[in-house]
Amino acid sequence: MVVRVPDIPSEGLSVTEVDALGSVYRDPAWRLLAVRLRLERDGLDVFVTGELRATVSQACGRCLEPSPAEVTAAVDVRLVPRPATADNVELAADDLDVDFYAEDELDVNALIEAETTLALPMKPLCREGCLGLCPVCGGNRNVVQCACPQRPPDPRLTALKDLAARLPH
């Protein structure tokens, strides 16, 4: 859904229909569940506030299996027209959540995708206490119990020990 900034009425614009947005995410495993956004214009600035809820899928940080999760993101962004050159952007210290729009057009779907990405868990886990991959054989220890030693001997360390043994005491 692309909104033309000059078309945003003075009383603001609400985006609440998930179906009206079409496909929001490039990743087909991600799905927008609910959205409640308010677009308000102040001169050339557009303020977008509200909340969204989505199901996302990331690789588990330990075993790399896809791990679906539900995220809720609070949205509070100010969008300003993209300047012609980057170096005349002057952002105040409190303008952390500033984004740009170009050619009078605001891509709501892209904004939703960006906000969802920001809300992703930093260390996704497929389950509490995921056992991860075996560092020796690479097997998924949630699925197979391999017989690999827990700590493989470091070949560099072994070489050092051999060297130490051969040194005169």
Here the contacts of 68-76 (C-beta below 8 Å, separation 24 or greater) are 68/29, 69/121, 69/124, 70/33, 71/116, 71/119, 71/120, 71/121, 72/119, 73/115, 73/116, 73/118, 73/119, 74/50, 75/37, 75/48, 75/49, 75/50, 75/51, 75/111, 75/115, 76/48, 76/49
Q: How far is the CB of 133 from Zn ion (least distance, A)?
A: 8
* Span of 12-20, 30-38, 55-63, 72-80 interacting with Zn ion by CB under 5 A: 55-63
| C-alpha distance across the termini of the chain, in Å | 77
134 binds Zn ion (CB under 5 A): yes
136 binds Zn ion (CB under 5 A): yes
133 binds Zn ion (CB under 5 A): no
Phi and psi dihedrals of 14, rounded to 5?
A: -105, 140
63 binds Zn ion (CB under 5 A): yes
Instruction: Please identify, using beta-carbon distances, which residue of 50 and 124 lies nearer to Zn ion.
Output: 124
* Span of 5-13, 50-58, 101-109, 140-148 interacting with Zn ion by CB under 5 A: 140-148
Instruction: Please identify, using beta-carbon distances, which residue of 33 and 146 lies nearer to Zn ion.
Output: 146
126 binds Zn ion (CB under 5 A): yes
| Residue from the set 102, 120, 146, 160 that interacts with Zn ion by CB under 5 A | 146
Residues found near Zn ion in the complex (CB under 5 A)? 60, 62-63, 126, 130, 134, 136-137, 139, 146, 148
